[in-house]
Structure 1
Amino acid sequence: MNLGISVHFKHIVIVLSLYFLPQIVWAKVDDDDLKAVYLFRFALLADWSKTGVNYEYIEYCVTSSSDVSERLQAIVESKPDRARFHRLPVSSDASVCHILFTELNDKEAVAQLRERYPHALLVGNGIDFVANGGMIAFIKVRNRIRPLIAREHVRHTNVLLRSQLLEVSELYQGGTA
């Protein structure tokens, strides 16, 4: 009888660990890690074929040093056969950016980046970023990081977004500020 309780107890422990372990692991991933992973994955969920831009390599660009950019750099550098990382404006060789992450939020800075990199997905933080012309922003929804996509702003790049990205995102309904 003792053996039966022991086996039953082991099954309960296994079931509980299957439930709680992913939550514990997920809790260790902070917002900056999640943003970096999203940034990397955006390239897999977008299509530049109608832009005329070469995409032998996915060019990831950032405008400043931050925890997000450092984590993105580590991810990109682990895939040197598919992707390259550039820190702007220090990296003068970055004539093309597919994914451009910036923490700049003002309308003039966003407009300059859009002009310089017309086929880049311009990603930043917060609703103000997309209101000022950005294309994708990270926002918190129910205490979780989610992409906010301004489809009208993306349309001007000729980059096509896959439905999988749109399904996990919030869609921005406003115009530019």
Structure 2
Amino acid sequence: MFLVTACGQNNNSETKKTKTNAMENIISKPNNPYYSNTDTTKLNVSDAEWKKVLSPDLYAVAREADTERAFTGKMWQSETKGTYYCAACGLKLFKSEQKFVSSCGWPSFFEQENKNSVVFKDDNSYGMKRTEALCGRCNSHLGHLFDDGPEPTGKRYCMNAISLDFVPDGVTSTTGNLDTIVLG
């Protein structure tokens, strides 16, 4: 479910408007107490607790390192400008300026938002030697990092679309266009 609630346009000075500001969440997930677009504190949450707050599909990818089928996620070829967040905890991971359309069937980026937004570990599953990409805040599985991306980094962050929440540019507190995006 994706619901966008618009601000009212009223010039009456006695009417109070509720607007988000740059320090508040852009996305609200009322059933997930760990979700925040502003908190970067490292989380230590049990898989049992994650299972209570994440959808079964997201849990399978984020906590069990499953992979969605190629070419099935909505974002793999999207060129819409905006920001990508961890779908489990809300950490800012990538900007659309770091994204490129690859032929792999998953959203691909050549660079992460900052050095702490994505962390890595060796993945030798399925008889392959790969580098797993994890959320820097909650350690959720996002996808894998490969050395076959475009310049300037030569990297391809191959991400599961289900592991990402996306907010288009212009959907921020500074525009006054939206109060909150609620994802369920």
**TM-score tier (shorter):** under 0.3
Q: Could you tell me the TM-score, scaled by structure 2's length?
A: 0.24
Name the larger-Rg structure.
1
Q: Could you tell me the TM-score, scaled by structure 1's length?
A: 0.24
**Structure having the larger proportion of residues in strand:** 2
**Structure having the larger proportion of residues in helix:** 1
Give the number of the structure with larger relative contact order, counting CA–CA contacts within 8 Å between residues 6 or more apart. 2
